[in-house]
Structure 1
Amino acid sequence: MGLVIAAPASGSGKTLLSLCLVAAVARRGLSLQSFKVGPDYLDPQLLSAASGRPCRNLDRLLCGKAWPELAYRHWGGQTDLTLVEGVMGLFDGQGPTPEGSTARIAEQLGLPILFIVDARRQGHSLVALVQGFRAMAPQLRWAGVVLNGVGSARHRQLLEQSLAGIGLPLLGSLPRADALELPCRHLGLLTPRELADFSVRLDAMASHAERHLDLERLLPLLTAPRQQSEVEPYGRLLASPGTGTPSGDRSRASSAPRGEVAMAPPPDTLRRPLICVAADQAFHFHYPELFEWCEVLGAEVLRWSPLADEDLPAACAAVVLPGGYPELHAEQLSQAERSLQALRRHCGQRRPLLAECGGMLLLGESLRDGEDRSWPMAGLLPFSAGRGALSLGYRQARVARDALTVRQGEQLRGHEFHRWQLLPRAGIAGDEPHGDLWHLEGWGVSARHEGFASQWLQASWLHLHWSGCPQVPRRLIAAASCRSAATAGRPG
């Protein structure tokens, strides 16, 4: 079956409860597949490290309405147990609608909700909160309630007696435990690689779960789907181009020629192009599907570290620069001359390069760190970047011009998630610099043009999940294959 961990609001304890359950499961030697509702990169890294398996995002807006069930049935069917951590409050989705919310995923997958409530400074009023959420969507299934932040034995007794009459099991009462709180920064929680004591924390969370959660009743509810999906998600999406198109529109993205999107390159007729993906403490906002799509489409993938000042191998046919926190490592990146020169050489040879968000910042002229100190970057794009207002939310992108992986008129849905902004170049007055890759719109934000593009380079603030736009990895690999074949054909 599996459970969805949901809450009335962010900060209620969803991640804490999820990690406590995962740690308790691991202590018992059981396998568990974790999932995360929405586009988040940070919570999934914690869940991946705790479970020993890549956490999978379930996002109807980024990946299309078919993806959550495809992903859940495929990866969830490979383990003993499954757990889905929700996002924000139960009904929070895109703008004032529940689309993209935890409730939508729970309903689609037919999974019951384990509702965690921050009980601090509450007594009997907590009953009205829980009952109000149940009444909002009576079609949802409910497994029970877990209380978080319980202050004392007397407080716990008050809450237990208050909830006794609503017909919903109380499956745990977590006392306040400051030692279990995970540190965070401007975009969210710290990652496991930044927490030297993460394994110690997990052990403490497992013990916390054993003392304060009703594991005898909870663990059977986490039982995974009985049968794994017979068709892996990538084959299903490649066979049906429209399936992966988010928002269900009939744009060119969903009606691309089958020969372009639906068929993987024959492995016996093309050299396997080498795709180098930046993957280190500065660049780690990527989904596991990024690497898997490359392999499914016939490419070889190499994880590459600009932060370690690694050179690009001569065989590199394309580079992917995902998002992350380059601003936290701006000084070190500015001194990574081997990596920066490799990017300049790569672009000078017109080899494919795809950059998202923080990855794009590496390509600019300079980057300001958190102390507002400016550091030189690769100098391949005409901007500097520094701290600004938070940009967060789903965006609808209409492509304005042909580029490396997109074509004019196509519509894609992506996600913005950044605090740094592009700054006007020194000595030039006016608005912040922008490219003309696509026209972005989103709920509650001004429409604008954004992104830099050419036939070999594509850089933007927008995060994409390739399972929602299979044409993007398909075209990237095709361009890399052409470059790889051309390089192989040169005399040595």
Structure 2
Amino acid sequence: MVVIAGERSGVGKTTVTLALLSFLCRQGKLVQSFKVGPDYIDPMFHQYVTGRFCRNLDPVLTSIDYLKQCFSFHTQQVDYALVEGVMGLFDGASGDFFSSTAHVALLLDLPVLLVIDCSRLSGSVAAIAHGYRSLDLRLQIAGVVLNRVGSDRHLQLLQDALAPLNLPIVGVLRRQDNITIPDRHLGLVPTGEINQFDRVIDRLATIGETCFDWDKLLPLLKPQYSPVSPISLIPPKVRIAIARDQAFNFYYQDNLDILTQLGAELVFWSPLSECVPDNVQGLYFGGGFPEVFAAELAENHPGLESVKRAILAKMPTYAECGGLMYLCQQIVDFDEKSHNMVGVIPATAIMGKHLTLGYRHATALQATPLVTPGLVVWGHEFHRSSLSVEPKEPLFQARGYEVLSPSIAEGWKSPFLHASYIHTHFGGNLDLPKRFINGCTQFMSN
């Protein structure tokens, strides 16, 4: 088991990770992947390659104990395990060490492979590698991956510079090996929107096969089993409709698993083309890209009406970020075109250039299907939209990761609706899904 880390963002961690995963899966191996931090999109790529749900490792959104339990449980019965880091190796929640890739590597006692962008350096690669290995001697830097190497002569200079460090070079990717995955305002474009993505995966698998020293890599990737008790499931007692399609696909798989473990049957449906499924007692709208598919969402009049009817009938509803936008009266997209949405929230979601990003320490001010007044939750925001109207009775009083950061009033609520820009991870507080399921059960009995 190993962590793929970068010396900074943009050095090619995801390309390296996908190349390794693709090659191993081409060999018919069972590989479990993980992603450090609150990211939704990179795990989609992992899942596409491995056929297994990628798991997020985030001690801010959950806890150190939950992180360790999650990792131990999901590395059972697999051939190999791999963790993709976030940002640079030592970049944490607010520039500190906590929740950084290095922090997670230490918590799990895993070696690190450091990916270095060599496109604009030669001899200086040794200073970078030495600095990262020396900054925290508790970390085991097991080797380096040299990315964007320009020529054989360039590679020789890099090898000569690194030789005195006795630090293994476990991979070399040439500049022509670079694979560009399209991106947009919130990062990479999800796999479901990329044409002929299987060809990209096939190319990545070839890179994985030819560009890495597998004699050095395979021993690092083998999981060390720690027996974990199986999860006991409660028989389903409620049915919850989960909006999942190209517009809504930001979900932590752990959230869905926890709902199932607590007694929910999950019913997946598409707001792009369908109506709320029959015989459900709760609605869950995750984040995603409703602004990209606003025209299609607006054209599905029966779907919009079915959601509105369900919420007005007091069906417990949880909507985060993109889900919040969908429940507004309108979405104004990047082209300043307005599209009618569900309309249960008296505001318009307007796309803009400003990115709101970061962890949130949120105190509930009102009761909703998930929270009670005074409950404190950790969450994460990641969006480029804002609402035209502020809520009169906000759901949360929220601040950033830093204790002294300014606080904001945020979120729309009713006793049956929880709508917020803040994404939550149920592994951080099981009271959230338990309360949601209890509300769905009460709705069913009414």
Taking structure 1 as the reference length, the TM-score comes to 0.88
Distance 2:302 2:434 in 1: 29
Q: Does 1:476 align with 2:436?
A: yes
Shift of 1:50: 0.6
Distance 2:138 2:2 in 1: 16
Q: Secondary structure at the match of 1:130?
A: helix
> Which residue pairs with 2:160 in the alignment?
161
Instruction: Figure out how many residues of one structure are paired with residues of the other and give that number.
Output: 443
Q: Secondary structure at the match of 2:382?
A: strand
Distance 2:62 2:145 in 1: 30
Q: Which amino acid aligns with 2:254?
A: E
Q: Which amino acid aligns with 1:112?
A: P
1:327 corresponds to which of 291, 311, 316? 291
Distance 1:439 1:416 in 2: 14
Shift of 1:228: 3.9
8 Å contact from structure 2 (residues 33, 54) kept in 1:
yes
Q: Deviations over 1:335-389 (max 9, x none)?
A: 1111110111101111101100000001101101121111111110011011221
1:438 corresponds to which of 388, 396, 411? 396
> Which residue pairs with 2:335 in the alignment?
371
Runs of 4+ residues over 4 Å off in structure 1: 432-435
> Which residue pairs with 2:369 in the alignment?
404
Q: Does 1:485 align with 2:445?
A: yes
1:314 corresponds to which of 245, 263, 278? 278
Q: Secondary structure at the match of 1:172?
A: strand
Q: Does 1:383 align with 2:347?
A: yes
> Which residue pairs with 1:278 in the alignment?
243
> Which residue pairs with 1:71 in the alignment?
70
Flag the 1:322–1:375 CA change in 2: closer, same or farther, 3 A. same
Q: Which amino acid aligns with 2:129?
A: V
8 Å contact from structure 1 (residues 277, 304) kept in 2:
yes
| More divergent stretch after superposition (31-40 vs 339-348) | 339-348
Distance 2:171 2:178 in 1: 19
> Which residue pairs with 1:26 in the alignment?
25
Shift of 1:454: 1.4
> Which residue pairs with 2:412 in the alignment?
452
What are the equivalent positions in structure 2 for 1:141-290 lying under 5 Å apart?
141-177=140-176, 180-232=179-231, 267=235, 272-290=237-255
Distance 1:347 1:152 in 2: 61
Q: Which amino acid aligns with 2:296?
A: Q
Shift of 1:433: 5.0
Q: Which amino acid aligns with 1:448?
A: I
Distance 2:366 2:192 in 1: 39
8 Å contact from structure 2 (residues 36, 86) kept in 1:
yes
Shift of 1:116: 0.4
| More divergent stretch after superposition (287-296 vs 467-476) | 287-296
Q: Deviations over 1:207-251 (max 9, x none)?
A: 11222111221122100122442254xx6xxxxxxxxxxxxxxxx
Distance 2:284 2:30 in 1: 32
Distance 1:434 1:34 in 2: 43
Distance 1:313 1:95 in 2: 42
8 Å contact from structure 1 (residues 415, 464) kept in 2:
yes
8 Å contact from structure 2 (residues 371, 432) kept in 1:
yes
Q: Deviations over 1:307-341 (max 9, x none)?
A: 11x11233110000100000001111111111110
Q: Which amino acid aligns with 2:413?
A: A
Distance 1:452 1:226 in 2: 44
Q: Deviations over 1:414-434 (max 9, x none)?
A: 00011111124xxxxxxx556
Q: Which amino acid aligns with 1:469?
A: N
| More divergent stretch after superposition (452-461 vs 179-188) | 179-188
State percent identity of aligned pairs: 38
Distance 1:74 1:202 in 2: 27
CA RMSD of aligned residues (A): 1.5
8 Å contact from structure 2 (residues 148, 178) kept in 1:
no
> Which residue pairs with 2:261 in the alignment?
296
2:324 corresponds to which of 360, 381, 387? 360
Shift of 1:411: 0.7
8 Å contact from structure 2 (residues 72, 225) kept in 1:
no
8 Å contact from structure 1 (residues 416, 461) kept in 2:
yes
Q: Which has the higher strand share?
A: 2
Distance 1:154 1:87 in 2: 31
Distance 1:372 1:451 in 2: 24
Q: Secondary structure at the match of 1:100?
A: coil
Q: Secondary structure at the match of 1:182?
A: coil
Q: Secondary structure at the match of 2:64?
A: coil
8 Å contact from structure 1 (residues 172, 214) kept in 2:
yes
Q: Deviations over 1:48-100 (max 9, x none)?
A: 11111000000000011112210111111220000000000111111131111
**Structure 1: any 5+ residue segments left out of the alignment?**
236-263, 425-431, 487-492
Shift of 1:23: 0.6
Distance 1:382 1:130 in 2: 54
Q: Does 1:462 align with 2:422?
A: yes
Distance 1:199 1:127 in 2: 36
1:339 corresponds to which of 290, 303, 313? 303
Q: Secondary structure at the match of 2:142?
A: strand
Shift of 1:292: 1.2
**Structure 2: any 5+ residue segments left out of the alignment?**
none
Q: Does 1:13 align with 2:12?
A: yes
Shift of 1:196: 2.2
> Which residue pairs with 2:133 in the alignment?
134
Distance 1:4 1:222 in 2: 9
Q: Secondary structure at the match of 1:85?
A: strand
